C-alpha cells in the first residue's frame, strides 16, 4: 500500500545544469532477507498518514520539510561481518558530510533511468502524471517565452525601435506616372502666374487673378476683368510659382470675350508656354484640372470633370462695364474668385479653357464672392487662342457679327430681332449679313448651325465662337412658319 507524493520540492544542486525536474521514483521494495536474517529496518522518517485496508488512497498535500537521507539497509545481526554497502552516489559539489545530508541522486539530463518495478496501480495516480505533464509543458513554453523575451530585450538595448517606415526609406526610384494629377500639376505650375492688379487712382484698388504663359516672349493670357482696373494708368505685377515677381503691362483687352493679354516688361529666359489643346474635341465627363489663386491662395490645384459643353454664359466684371458672352465649358472643379484667368487643363496637361465665371448662390453669373458650388465656366481655348492672337497682333479685338439687334431680355422662345436698334437706328443693318440673308425685324432665331437658341445672350455666345467670314445656317420663325437662311458673318473691331 502506498500513496503518491505530488510535487514535494527537492533541493537543487547549484553546480548541476538546469534541467526539467523529474518526479522521484517510488521507493524500491527491499529484497527478502535470507533465512535466519532479519529484514533491514528503515531509518526513521516522516511518514504519510496510514490508510486502513479497503480505503482508497488519498493524495497527501506536500509538506515542506528538511531533506531526508535515503534509507540505508543494515542487517540487524549477522554471523560474519558483512561487506560495507557501496556508497551512495553524491552529486558534484555536494558536501561529503554534515548537515544537511545530500539529496537523493537525480539522473543527469537525458540519461536513461534505471527500470523501477511498477507500484500497485491506484485509481487516482493519473492526476499526478497529468500535473507533471502540464508542469513540463509549462516549463517548455516558459523557456520559449523567456528566449523570445531575451531576444527582444537584446534587440532593444540600443534605444527605442520602431517598425514604421520613414520617407527616407521610400524607394529612390518612386515616380508619379504621367497623366496623374500630381504629374500634370508639377509640370504646369511653373507656367502659371498670379496677377496683382492695382488701379492708378489714389486708392490703388485692384484684385488678384491668374494667368498662364502663352509664349516665350513673355505674353500672359488671362481674363479682361482681372486686369481691367490697371488698364488706365494702373500697375500690374506677375508672380511665378517659384516666388519670382515681374512687372507687366497690358497688350490688349477684349471686353466682350473677357480675354486679355499682358506682357512681362523684363521677361526671363527659358519660359515654358503651356500646350494648348482642342476644346472642340472635349467630351462631357473628361477629367479637368484647374490651377489658380482662389481668394489669393496662389498655386492652388483642384480637379473635376467637364460637366457640360456649349453652355451659354453672360457675365460681368462687377464694375457695371460691358458684359461678356461665352459658349462655355462647364466644370465642377472648384473655382473661386482669384481663379479667373487661370488654365483649365485636360488629363494630359493641355489647356482646354480659361476659367472665367462661377454660378453664384444669388442666381447670377459673374465674379461673386460666394464660394464654389461646383458650377464653374471656362472660355473654350479655341476661341481664346483666336482672340489672343488678334490682341498680340493689333492690340484690339475683332468680333464676328450678323448685323442685327436682338432682344437680350426675353428667354425661352429664341432670340427675337428687335423692331429698333440702339439710338433709333434700324435693327437690321442695311446691306449687312442678316439683311443679305433675308432676315427681318420680328424674326425669332431658334437655331444657329446645330445649336438651339433660346435667348439673345445664347445667340451672341454662339456667334462669337466663330470668325468673321464664316458661313452659318440660321433657323428662324416668321408668322408661325419656320425658315432657314445662310449668313456670312461680318466683323466689328474694338469694344466701342
Cis peptide before 331 (omega within 30 of 0): no
All 3 cell numbers of residue 298?
496662389
Separate counts of helices (H) and strands (E) for the chain:
6, 20
Buried b / exposed e over 226-235, threshold 16 CB at 10 Å, is bbbbbbeebb
Which residues have CB under 8 Å from 54's CB, separation 6+?
A: none
Taking the C-alpha atoms of residue 151 and residue 157, their distance in angstroms, rounded to an integer, is 10
Give a three-class secondary structure readout of 138-193: HHHHHHHHHHHHHHHHHHCCCCCCCCCCCHHHCCCCCCCCCCCHHHHHHHHHHHEE
- Around Cβ 397, how many Cβ atoms within 10 Å? 24
Give the position of cell 516672349.
Answer: 217
- Around Cβ 332, how many Cβ atoms within 10 Å? 18
Residues labelled as active-site residues: 225, 258, 340
The angle at the Cα of 438, spanning 437 to 442, to the nearest 5 degrees, equals 125
- Give the CB-side neighbour count of residue 320, counting CA atoms within 13 A: 0
Amino acid at each position: 500500500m502506498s500513496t503518491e507524493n505530488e510535487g514535494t520540492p527537492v533541493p537543487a544542486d547549484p553546480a548541476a545544469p538546469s534541467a526539467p525536474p523529474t518526479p522521484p521514483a517510488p521507493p524500491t521494495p527491499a529484497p527478502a532477507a535470507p533465512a535466519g536474517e532479519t529484514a533491514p529496518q528503515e531509518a526513521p522518517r516522516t511518514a504519510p498518514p496510514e490508510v486502513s485496508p479497503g480505503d482508497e488512497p488519498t493524495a497527501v498535500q506536500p509538506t515542506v520539510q528538511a531533506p531526508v537521507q535515503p534509507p540505508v539497509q543494515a542487517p540487524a545481526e549477522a554471523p560474519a561481518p558483512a561487506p560495507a554497502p557501496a556508497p551512495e552516489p553524491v552529486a558534484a559539489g555536494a558536501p561529503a558530510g554534515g548537515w544537511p545530508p545530500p539529496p537523493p541522486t537525480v539522473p543527469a539530463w537525458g540519461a536513461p533511468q534505471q527500470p523501477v518495478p511498477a507500484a500497485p496501480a491506484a485509481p487516482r495516480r493519473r492526476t499526478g502524471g497529468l500535473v507533471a505533464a502540464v508542469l513540463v509543458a509549462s516549463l517548455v513554453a516558459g523557456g520559449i517565452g523567456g528566449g523570445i523575451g531575451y531576444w527582444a530585450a537584446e534587440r532593444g538595448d540600443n534605444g527605442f525601435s520602431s517598425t514604421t517606415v520613414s520617407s527616407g526609406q521610400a524607394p529612390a526610384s518612386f515616380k508619379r506616372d504621367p497623366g496623374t494629377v500630381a504629374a500634370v500639376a508639377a509640370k504646369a505650375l511653373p507656367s502659371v502666374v498670379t496677377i496683382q492688379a492695382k488701379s492708378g487712382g489714389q486708392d490703388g484698388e485692384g484684385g488678384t487673378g491668374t494667368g498662364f504663359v502663352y509664349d516665350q516672349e513673355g505674353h500672359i493670357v488671362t481674363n479682361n476683368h482681372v486686369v481691367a482696373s490697371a488698364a488706365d494708368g494702373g500697375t500690374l505685377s506677375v508672380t511665378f510659382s517659384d516666388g519670382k515677381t515681374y512687372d507687366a503691362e497690358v497688350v490688349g483687352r477684349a471686353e466682350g470675350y473677357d480675354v486679355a493679354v499682358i506682357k512681362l516688361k523684363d521677361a526671363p529666359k527659358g519660359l515654358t508656354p503651356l500646350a494648348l489643346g482642342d476644346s472642340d474635341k472635349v467630351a462631357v465627363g473628361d477629367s479637368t484640372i484647374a490651377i489658380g489663386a482662389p481668394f489669393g491662395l496662389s498655386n492652388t490645384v483642384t480637379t473635376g470633370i467637364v460637366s457640360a459643353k456649349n453652355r451659354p454664359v453672360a457675365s460681368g466684371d462687377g464694375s457695371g462695364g460691358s458684359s461678356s458672352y461665352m459658349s462655355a465649358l462647364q466644370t465642377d472643379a472648384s473655382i473661386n474668385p482669384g481663379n479667373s484667368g487661370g488654365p483649365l487643363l485636360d488629363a494630359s496637361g493641355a489647356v482646354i479653357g480659361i476659367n472665367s465665371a462661377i454660378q453664384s448662390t444669388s442666381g447670377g453669373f459673374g465674379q461673386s464672392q460666394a464660394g464654389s458650388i461646383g458650377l464653374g465656366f471656362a472660355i473654350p481655348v479655341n476661341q481664346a487662342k483666336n482672340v489672343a492672337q488678334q490682341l498680340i497682333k493689333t492690340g484690339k479685338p475683332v468680333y464676328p457679327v450678323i448685323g442685327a439687334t436682338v432682344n437680350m431680355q426675353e428667354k425661352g422662345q429664341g432670340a427675337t430681332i428687335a423692331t429698333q436698334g440702339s439710338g433709333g437706328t434700324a435693327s437690321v443693318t442695311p446691306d449687312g449679313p442678316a439683311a443679305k440673308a433675308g432676315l427681318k425685324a420680328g424674326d425669332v432665331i431658334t437655331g444657329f448651325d446645330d445649336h438651339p437658341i433660346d435667348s439673345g445672350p445664347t445667340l451672341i455666345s454662339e456667334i462669337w465662337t466663330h470668325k468673321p467670314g464664316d458661313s452659318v445656317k440660321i433657323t428662324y420663325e416668321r408668322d408661325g412658319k419656320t425658315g432657314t437662311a445662310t449668313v456670312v458673318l461680318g466683323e466689328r473691331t474694338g469694344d466701342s
